């Protein structure tokens, strides 16, 4: 028996990178790519999970008893949906068992947030099936808790908020301190523009330790400046703040975070004024800051950005945590093909594996399909 079908999207972050753990601003939009869950309620306290996207025995079906769910991670992909059920129950919501079959078009591990899509689709389905009446921002927070505590991955709130709360034709301005949201019009097609996502298909293995080091450096910067988080340093106080920091590494981390928050605000102003092309240089500036100040880019991401700009793109940047994953490229629709081709050729000339390139139009957040 199928009780319903739900979908939740992956996302890309338009601007606002490494700002989330500094209480700052991010601006993701939902991809047309979704994780779809076909879900049937069951009343025997069992969660039965199957994924069409995992090969062989790893796909399941796996049967987990709800009263035996325990945080800790390390049990593979079922930790994500099991973590959602655990977080719901731990918060006191009465969810019972379910049969869930997943099928996704979100590339996994590409920095496009397949993990949040998997969590959010699970939470939304259970919210509807068990008539929990939960608000989307709350659902996003529970999903983050599932990922942080149950799976054991120290992520911010952006991915789950984007998957749960984005709307078609908009980017989502998220203030990660207040957890307030604003839908900012981002209609590329109406302006004759395209946004390409280039998944480099590389993930450099040192990324986790490097992430922790950046996070600690930002915290050290905030402490040295006597603020709760780097969000509290306004852009016009930056020079002053930098002059008070001795450690050159901390100084450049602070410079990135402060200027990046300011770039988010400038991007919003342009989009709200209908000046979509004007965000191109800000994207490129953001990339330079991530590359030169935050040191989280890599050869493959730089190659996408440099090649796209040479081929006539309006702007380009790495997106996501860095050290691989994906980049985004803003281009006139008329030259999108040429830009994509130039990137493919550049990768081939550098003897790198072919990247996956696709067009991303800002799409809807999680929803019930039937
Ligand atoms: P990202 O969120 O950037 O795609 P993560 O490492 O955070 O990368 O999450 C990827 C993991 O999420 C996969 O390794 C897998 O465990 C799980 N996952 C995502 N989508 C699916 C799916 N459709 N079926 C099963 N597991 C999935
Ligand atoms: Mg993820």
Residue 370 in any domain: the answer is no
Residue 1 has pLDDT above 60, yes or no: no
Residues with CB under 6 A from ligand 1: 35, 51, 53-54, 77, 80, 102, 104, 108-115, 118
Per-residue pLDDT tens over the stretch 287-319: 999 999 999 999 999 999 999 999 999 999 999
What six digits make up the tokens of 228? 């709760």
For residue 32, the tally of other CB atoms under 10 A from its CB is 16
Residues 245 and 323 in one domain: yes
Same domain for 182 and 275, yes or no, is no
Mean pLDDT of 216-241: 98
Domain boundary, last residue among 186, 215, 242:
186
Please tell me the distance between residue 99's alpha carbon and the centre of ligand 2 in angstroms: 23
Encode pLDDT of 180-197 as tens digits: 999 999 999 999 999 999
**Is residue 367, in this structure, part of any structural domain at all?**
no
What count of other Cβ atoms lies within 10 Å of the Cβ of residue 367? 13
Number of domains in the chain: 2
Structural domain of 72: 4-186
Let me know whether 261 and 200 are in one domain: yes
First-to-last alpha carbon distance for the chain, in angstroms, is: 13
Mutate which of 109, 155, 202, 318 for ligand 1? The one with the most ligand atoms within 8 Å of its CB, which is 109
* Residue in 118, 325, 326, 327 to alter for ligand 1 test, most ligand atoms within 8 A of Cβ: 118
What tokens appear for 64 in the block? Answer: 């987990």
CB-proximal residues (5 Å) to ion ligand 2: 113, 115
Give the model's pLDDT for residue 53: 97
Query: Is there a single domain that holds both residue 29 and residue 172?
Result: yes
Among residues 186, 214, 230, which one ends one of the domains? 186
CA distance 255 to 271: 24
Cα–Cα separations (whole angstroms), residue 261 to 142, 216, 218: 26, 18, 14
- Tell me which residue has its CA closest to atom 3 in ligand 1: 111
Same domain, 165 and 152: yes
Same domain, 296 and 161: no
| CA 31 – ligand 2 centroid, Å | 14
Co-location of 337 and 214 in the same domain: yes
pLDDT cut 90: percent of the chain above it: 94
107 and 223 within one domain: no
The catalytic residues are 159
Q: What is the CATH number of the domain that holds 66?
A: 3.30.230.10
Residue 369 falls inside a structural domain: no
Q: Distance, CA 145 to ligand 1 centroid (Å)?
A: 16
The verdict on 163 and 195 lying in the same domain is no
Q: Which atom of ligand 1 is nearest to the CA of 113?
A: 2
- Ligand having the closest approach to the CA of 320: 1
pLDDT digits (tens, 9 = 90+) for 37-54: 999 999 999 999 999 999
What value does the mean pLDDT of the chain take? Answer: 96
Between the CA of 113 and the centroid of ligand 2 the distance, in Å, is 4
Model confidence at 154, in pLDDT bands (50, 70, 90)?
confident
In terms of domains, do 64 and 209 share one? no
């Amino acid at each position: 028996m199928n009780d319903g079908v739900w979908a939740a999207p992956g996302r890309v972050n338009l601007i606002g990178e490494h700002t989330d753990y500094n209480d700052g601003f991010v601006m993701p939009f939902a991809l047309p790519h979704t994780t779809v869950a076909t879900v049937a309620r069951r009343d025997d306290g069992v969660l039965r999970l199957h994924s069409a996207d995992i090969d062989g025995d790893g796909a399941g079906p796996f049967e987990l008893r709800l009263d035996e769910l325990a945080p800790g991670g390390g049990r593979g992909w079922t930790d994500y949906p099991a973590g959602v059920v655990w977080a719901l129950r731990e918060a006191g919501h009465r969810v019972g068992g379910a049969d869930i079959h997943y099928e996704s078009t979100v590339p996994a591990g590409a920095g496009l947030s397949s993990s949040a899509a998997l969590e959010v689709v699970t939470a939304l389905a259970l919210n509807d099936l068990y008539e929990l009446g939960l608000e989307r921002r709350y659902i996003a927070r529970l999903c983050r808790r599932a990922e942080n505590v149950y799976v054991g991955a120290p992520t911010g709130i952006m991915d789950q908020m984007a998957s749960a709360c984005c709307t078609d034709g908009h980017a989502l301005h998220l203030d990660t301190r207040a957890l307030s949201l604003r839908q900012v019009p981002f209609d590329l097609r109406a302006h004759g523009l395209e946004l390409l996502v280039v998944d480099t298909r590389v993930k450099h293995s040192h990324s986790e330790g490097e992430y922790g080091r950046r996070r600690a450096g930002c915290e050290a910067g905030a402490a040295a400046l006597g603020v709760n988080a780097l969000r509290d340093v306004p852009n016009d106080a930056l020079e002053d703040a930098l002059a008070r920091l001795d450690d050159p590494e901390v100084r450049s981390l602070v410079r990135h975070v402060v200027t990046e928050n300011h770039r988010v605000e400038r991007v919003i102003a342009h989009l709200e004024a209908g000046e979509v092309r004007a965000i191109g240089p800000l994207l490129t500036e953001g990339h330079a800051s991530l590359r030169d100040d935050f040191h989280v880019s890599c050869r493959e991401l730089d190659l996408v950005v440099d090649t796209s700009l040479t081929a006539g793109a309006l702007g380009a940047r790495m997106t996501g945590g860095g050290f691989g994953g994906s980049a985004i490229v803003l281009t006139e629709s008329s030259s999108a093909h040429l830009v994509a081709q130039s990137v493919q050729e550049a990768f081939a000339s550098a003897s790198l594996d072919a990247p996956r390139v696709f067009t991303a139009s800002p799409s809807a957040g999680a929803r019930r399909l039937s």
